[in-house]
């Protein structure tokens, strides 16, 4: 990789970024996992460095072009200029976080570090459950399993109650990959489960999320259903 240093402007001013010649991101405007990466890119001042390749994926419709670089048919996938390929939103986010000298999205302080990774894992698990829940809901009439729908609904309801208890800690901690993951999970609920009024009985996490939504990097990455 040919790299050089450059000072650019972003949410944190005077971020020094190690420039790579190009980074190609396979993405979709609807994917919450892609959104996690894009928020990190904005927060670290690197969004404009990403060459975005629209890649449609589905469990039952393999994308042959994408599978040439990611055999698992998943986005986001990041292809570096030297041919290396990075899978998984968390790996890509940490790679982007390593390329600048501004405020890190993965904190280095030990206690903040592990708390951020714990929240990140929580948000990922919540997203996985939401996507599986939606997949089950959208099966053809008569083929979905009510027992699975009930189980996913219980998991999400319990997760939301957990977040309600953790809202104050989320507010007080430095903004990191942890808040990004949880925020993207809650945003996905709004996007795909608009009928599920999760805010009504959970004012603390609802307030935290309303503040999260006002962040510039979050506004710039709102999902779009094409």
Number of domains in the chain: 2
82 and 135: one domain? no
The answer to whether position 226 is within a domain reads no
Between the alpha carbon of residue 182 and those of residues 2, 137, 155, 208, the distances in Å are 35, 22, 15, 11
pLDDT of residue 19: 55
Neighbouring-strand partners of residue 61: 58
Examine the fold and report which residue of 65, 97, 129 is the final residue of a domain before the chain moves on.
Answer: 97
Neighbouring-strand partners of residue 100: 17
pLDDT of residue 181: 98
The structure tokens 């999205």 sit at 105
92 and 127: one domain? no
194 and 133: one domain? yes
pLDDT of residue 156: 98
Give the residue numbers spanning the domain of 139.
110-219
56 and 148: one domain? no
Examine the fold and report which residue of 45, 64, 97 is the final residue of a domain before the chain moves on.
Answer: 97
The answer to whether position 103 is within a domain reads no
Phi, psi of 84 (to 5 degrees): -65, 150
The answer to whether position 224 is within a domain reads no
pLDDT of residue 7: 35
The answer to whether position 166 is within a domain reads yes
- Tens of pLDDT, residue by residue, the chain (226 residues): 334 434 333 444 344 555 555 799 999 999 999 999 999 999 999 999 999 999 999 888 899 999 999 999 999 999 998 999 999 999 999 999 999 999 999 999 999 999 999 999 999 999 999 999 999 998 888 788 999 999 999 999 999 999 999 999 999 999 999 999 999 999 999 999 999 999 999 999 999 999 999 999 999 999 887 6
Residue 86 Cα to chain centre, angstroms: 15
pLDDT of residue 12: 45
Distance CA 121, CA 178 (A): 8
Helix or strand or coil: residue 29?
Answer: coil
Bridge-based pairing state of the strands 23-27 and 77-80: antiparallel
The answer to whether position 187 is within a domain reads yes
Examine the fold and report which residue of 41, 69, 97 is the final residue of a domain before the chain moves on.
Answer: 97
pLDDT of residue 10: 42
- Neighbouring C-beta atoms of residue 142, cutoff 10 Å: 5
75 and 174: one domain? no
């Amino acid at each position: 990789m040919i790299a050089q240093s450059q000072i650019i402007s972003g949410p944190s001013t005077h971020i020094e970024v190690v420039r790579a010649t190009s980074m190609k991101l396979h993405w979709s405007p609807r994917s919450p996992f892609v959104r996690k990466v894009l928020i990190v890119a904005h927060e670290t001042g690197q969004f404009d460095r990403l060459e975005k390749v629209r890649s449609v994926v589905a469990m039952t419709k393999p994308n042959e072009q994408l599978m040439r670089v990611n055999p698992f048919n998943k986005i986001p996938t990041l292809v570096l200029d030297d041919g290396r390929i990075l899978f998984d939103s968390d790996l890509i986010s940490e790679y982007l976080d390593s390329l600048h000298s501004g405020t890190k999205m993965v904190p280095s302080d030990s206690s903040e570090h592990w708390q951020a990774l714990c929240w990140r894992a929580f948000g990922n698990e919540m997203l996985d459950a939401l996507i599986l829940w939606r997949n089950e809901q959208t099966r053809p009439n008569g083929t979905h399993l009510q027992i699975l729908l009930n189980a996913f609904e219980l998991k999400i309801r319990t997760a939301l109650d957990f977040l309600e208890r953790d809202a104050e800690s989320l507010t007080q901690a430095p903004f990191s990959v942890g808040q990004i993951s949880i925020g993207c999970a809650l945003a996905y609920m709004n996007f795909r489960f608009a009928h599920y009024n999760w805010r009504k009985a959970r004012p603390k996490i609802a307030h935290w999320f309303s503040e999260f939504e006002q962040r510039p990097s979050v506004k710039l990455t709102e999902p779009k259903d094409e």
